[in-house]
A and B are shown apart, each in its own frame.
Chain A
Amino acid sequence: MAAYGDLLEERIPDLRRRLETGELAPEALLEAALERIAAVEDRIESFIALDPDAARRRAAALSEKRRRGEALGALYGIPAAVKDNIAVAGLPMTAGSRMLEGFLPPDDAVVTERLLAADAVIVGKANLDEFAMGGSTETSAYRTTKNPWHPDRVPGGSSGGSAAAVAAREVWYAIGTDSGGSIRQPASFTGIVGFKPTYGRIPRTGVVAFASSFDTVGVLARTVEEAAIVYDALHGFHPSDTTSLPRDREPVAPTLGRDVRGLKVAVPTFWLVGLHPDVRARTEEALRVLEGLGAIVEPVDMPHLAYAEAAYTILTMGEAASNLARFDGLRYGRRFSDARDLAALYAETRARGFGREVKRRVLLGTYFLSAGRYEDMYVRAQKVRTLIRRDFERVFADYDLVAGPTVPTPAFPLSERLSDPVAMYQSDRLTSPANLAGLPAVSVPAGFSAEGLPIGLQLVGDVAEDALVLQAAYAYQAATEHHRRRPAL
C-alpha cells in the first residue's frame, strides 16, 4: 500500500491537522504504522511487546471521540512507542529484565497518563538495555535491536528500541529515559532528534528507577518540532514526584523559529578531543552552520569534564545498587528459586534474574557505598558532580548554550563493546555531564560518517532553559537537510 508509505514521511503537525478535519482517521494512521512494523520489525526488533489489538481499540475510541465533537489532544491519533521501563497499564513492563518477566504494572506512569490525555496511541513497549543500564540495547534479556541504518550496528542505548522504532518509521515518536545519554546517544546513532529535558521536567512516577537523581524522561522524534510538541504535552509538576518541576512558562513548540542571532555558544575544548574523525568533521561543520545563523561560537575550558565519566559511574552505580535491591521475587516479578533458606532465595533469584551488566553495576555500586569506600568513592564523586555543575554555571554566566558532538563515534558494531564495559561507558562521555548537572540537552542530526552512519550534534542549556535548547536545535535543523535522509530498509 503505497499510500501508507507516504503517511510515514509526514510530520506530526500535518498529520494532526488531517486527523482533526477527519480527512485521515486514527485507524488508518495506525494501520500504516502496524503495516510498517510488520514489514521491518523482524530486522530491527525495536519492540519487546506490541499490542496491535489494544492500539486498534484505542484508535477506534479516538475516532468516536472526534465524531462526538469533543476537543482533541495535541497528539491525537499519532502512534507512539514507550520504552519498556515506563508503566503502561494493561501492557507488561519488563525493564528489559527476566526479573520482571510477566509483570503487569498496576497503574500508568504519569508520563503515560499525559500521553493518553493528549490522545496518543501507544502501539507497544520499546526494547532497552536491562534496567536502562547500557549504551547499545544489547543487555536486554529479550532481544537485540539493530540500527536501521546498518544491520550490524547497535542502535545505541539504553533507549535503543525507542530510537530504532522512530528511525525505522515504525512510529512517529517515542518516549525514552536518559540517565547518562540514553536518549541522546541512540538518537545520534540512528539519525533522529533526542531531547532530554531539565531533570524533573517530566515526572518519574511509574518509571523504573535506575539512578534516581539522573533519570530523566524525554522524547525521541524525527524533528525538533515534533519533539517540542510531545514535550509540551508531557512536562510539568506532579505531586507524586516531589523532585518534578513546574511547566515551562509557555508552550515551547509555538516559540520555535525564534531568531538565534547573537546567541552565544560555548564549545568545551575537552569535547573536541579523542573523537572519531568523521564526528569531529561533522561537529565543526555544524558549528559553522550555527555561526552562519548568527550565533557566536567560542571554545571554553571546563576543567572538570574530564572527571565526569568517573563521577557518573560511581554515583549511578551506587544509586542503582540501592534502587534494584527491591527485586527479590517475593512480591512481584519472577522468583527464580524455591529455596527454603532466605539468603539462598535472595541469592538465587538475583543471580538468575539479573543479567551480567546489571549484576556488575549492582556489585560495583554496593562496593562504592560500603563502609570504608563511601568517603573516598561516593562522597568524592558527589564533590566532582558539584564541580561540574559549577563549570556549567560559570559558562552559562557568559554563554547561552554549550555545544559539541553527542557521542565520540558513530554507531559501533554489535557485540563489539559487550565484553568491554569500559569502552561501552566511554560512549556516555559527552552526554553524562548534562545528567550530572541536571541540564536540558538535545541531540540533533548533523550528518553522516563516511560509512553512512548518522552523527549527532549536542546542544546543552542552563537549568530550565529547555525552550532555548529546542529553539536553537530547531534553527539548526531548519538550516540543514540531514534529518530528511531515510535509512534504506
Chain B
Amino acid sequence: MAYETVVGLEVHVELATKTKLFCSCRTDFGDEPNTNTCPICLAYPGTLPVLNEAAVALALKAALALNCEITRETKFDRKHYFYPDLPKAYQVSQFDRPLGRNGYVDIEVDGEKKRIRIERLHLEEDAGKLIHTPGGTLVDFNRGGVPLIEIVTAPDIRSGKEAAAFLTELRAILAYAGVSDVRMEEGSLRCDANVSVRPVGETRFGTKTEIKNMNSIGSVERAIEYEAARQMEVLAQGGTIVQETRRYDEARRVTVGMRAKETSADYRYFPDPDLVAFTIPEAWIEEIRESLPELPDARRKRYVEEFGLSSYDARVLTQEKAVGDFFEAAVAHGGDVKAIANWMMVEVLGYLNKEQKSIDAVPMTPAHLSRLVRLIEDGTISGRIAKEIFPEVIATGADPEALVREKGLVQIQDAALLEAVVKRVLEANPKSVADYLAGKEKALGHLVGQVMKETKGKANPGLANALLKKALEARRGAGGA
C-alpha cells in the first residue's frame, strides 16, 4: 500500500528584544549562567510581571509578516507544570486568544509552489535551561522569561523536504522582518514535528508522534523522513503506531521513543490575573504593518522581473536579507547584474560557506565587488585573474583596482605583444597544431591555455583565441597550398 506523510510543525522563536518579557533583565545569549536574572524572573514571592511592549510589537510584526489575522482583544494565560526550569511552575503563554491566527507561508519544492497554513502564533515566555553534570543537574535561568513566539502550522506538510523548505522560508521571513536572529544552533529557533502517515487517498489522520531534539533544518528533514519510514514499516508489518514523544538522535539518525507519560498533561490554563486583558489598537497594527520591510517572496519576484534573474538564482540571493542587501548595493555601484549575481552565488557564498562567516563579517564592500566585475567587463583583467585576487579582496577588503595595479595584473590587450607569444606557443606545441588542423577543434582550447600560462593569465583570453585562430588558419592555408 502507498502511504503519504503528514507533518505539522511547532516552531519556537526567541524575539530579538533587549530585555525579557516581564522584567528588565537582558536577553543576551552566552552570558555567565544566572547573571541575567532578578527576583521577577526567579519567581520570588511578591513579584509581578510588567509586559514588555517591544515584545508585543515584534510578535505582531512576525504575525503580520506571516500573513496572520491579528486577535485584537487578547490576554495572557498561565500554563502550569512543575519543572525546575520553570520558576513560577507556570509559563505565561496565550491559550485561546493567540496574537495571530490563520496565516500562511508559501514554499517551493522541486519547482512546485505550495502554501503551508499557520494555525496560530502566540507570545509566551521561555523557560530556563537545565545543565546536566556528573555532580547533578544545574539550572541556568538566563533564558527564563525571554520572549518567544510559538508558531503552529496546519498539518499541510507532506515530506521532510517540505518541512525544510518551510523552515528555510520561515527563517528568512522572520530575519527579514527583524523579529529574531533565528539561530537554530543557539536555540533562538527551535522546532518540534508532529508526524503521521496514512494511505494515499485517506482523509483522516493517522496516529501521530511528536519528534523533538532536532537542532538544524537538515536534522528536521532527516528526522521526518526517518520517522515517516519507520511508521510505514510498522504499519506494513501489521503493527499500530503508538502516540508518543520521540527524540531524534542525530548521531545515529534515528528517532527514539521517550518514556511514555502515565497520564496526559493537564496544563490547567486560566487567564493570568496579574496581566489584564488588553486591546491592540488598530493604528498600532497599521504602524507595524507599514514598518515591515520587503519580504523574501516580494524580493524574489522583483529580482526575476527587474534583474531578469532565474527564479533559482533569485531564491539563492534572497535567502538571507544581508546577502540580498549586499547584492543590490553592488548592483547599484554598477556592473552587469547577472555577472554580479554569479559572483555572489559562486564566489561570495562559497567563501562564506567555507569560512562559516556571515556577509556582515567580511571586510569586502559591495563597491569592491562591483569594481571587480567592471574590471572584467572593461577588459582590464580576465575572469581568471579576478578569481585569483578575489580571496584577498574578500578577506582583507583590498580595493580590486589598486590590487590589480600593484601586482601588475592588468590584462595584455595589445595584439602586437600577444602575437609573439602566440607564435612561440604554436612552435612549442606541434601536436596540438596538427590536431587542430586535422579538425580537432578542441586542441584550440589547449593552445589558449598555453598562451594564458605564458602570460601568467594576463592575456585577454578573447584576443588570444582570435590571434591563435588567425595564425592556425594561416598555416592551414599555407599547408594546403
Contact = CB atoms under 8 A, between A and B. Distances in A.
Interface string A99-120: 0100101110100000000000
Contacts of B273: 211-213, 243, 319
Contacts of B50: 239-240, 242
A325 B44 contact: no
Contacts of B48: 204-205, 240-243
A208 B43 CA distance: 11
B274 A212 contact: yes
A328 B49 CA distance: 20
B51 A326 contact: no
B46 A325 contact: no
Interface in A318-371: 318-319, 322, 325-328, 330-332, 342, 346, 366, 369-371
A471 to B, nearest CB: 29
Which one of A100, A239, A319 has the greatest number of beta carbons of chain B within 10 Å?
A319
B391 interface: no
A206 interface: yes
Interface in B269-294: 270, 273-276
Give the one of B48, B82, B275 with max A CB within 10 A.
B48
Contacts of B89: 325-326, 328
A142 interface: no
A386 B89 CA distance: 28
A205 B47 contact: yes
A321 B93 CA distance: 18
Interface in B3-58: 39, 42-51
A93 interface: yes
A366 B81 CA distance: 11
B266 A370 contact: yes
B39 A322 contact: no
A208 B275 contact: no
B82 A105 contact: no
Contacts of A378: 270
A206 B88 contact: no
A331 B43 contact: yes
A103 B44 CA distance: 10
B45 A325 contact: no
Contact of B45 (A212, A322, A326, A366): A326
B379 interface: no
B172 to A, nearest CB: 35
A318 B46 contact: no
B32 to A, nearest CB: 18
Contact of A318 (B45, B266, B270): B270
B39 A330 contact: no
Given A87-B46, A205-B47, A332-B44, A107 B87 contact: no
Contacts of A370: 266, 268
Nearest to B37: A331
Nearest to B23: A240
B84 A325 contact: no
A325 B90 contact: yes
Which residue of B42, B46, B47 has the most chain A CB atoms within 10 A of its CB atom?
B46
A362 to B, nearest CB: 11
Nearest to B88: A326
A412 interface: no
Contact of B82 (A242, A328, A331, A332): A328
A234 interface: no
A207 interface: yes
Contact of A325 (B80, B266, B276): B80
B268 A366 contact: yes
A205 B48 CA distance: 6
B267 to A, nearest CB: 9
Nearest to A211: B273
B78 interface: yes
A129 B51 CA distance: 31
Nearest to A346: B82
A95 interface: yes
Given A319-B273, A331-B87, A369-B268, A93 B80 contact: no
Contact of B276 (A243, A319, A330): A243
B275 A209 contact: no
A332 B47 CA distance: 14
B46 A326 contact: no
Contacts of B80: 322, 325, 369
A369 B270 contact: yes
A80 B316 CA distance: 71
A275 B275 CA distance: 38
B45 A374 contact: no
A109 B46 contact: yes
A452 to B, nearest CB: 38
Contact of B268 (A213, A240, A331, A371): A371
A211 B276 CA distance: 14
Contacts of A211: 273
Residue from B39, B47, B88 having most chain A Cβ neighbours under 10 A: B47
Q: Which has the most chain A C-beta neighbours within 10 Å: B87, B270, B275?
A: B270
Interface in B227-268: 266, 268
Given A109-B46, A243-B48, A371-B266, 5 more contacts: A240-B48, A322-B80, A325-B90, A369-B270, A370-B266
Q: Which 4 A-B pairs have the closest CB atoms?
A: A325-B89, A213-B273, A212-B273, A369-B268
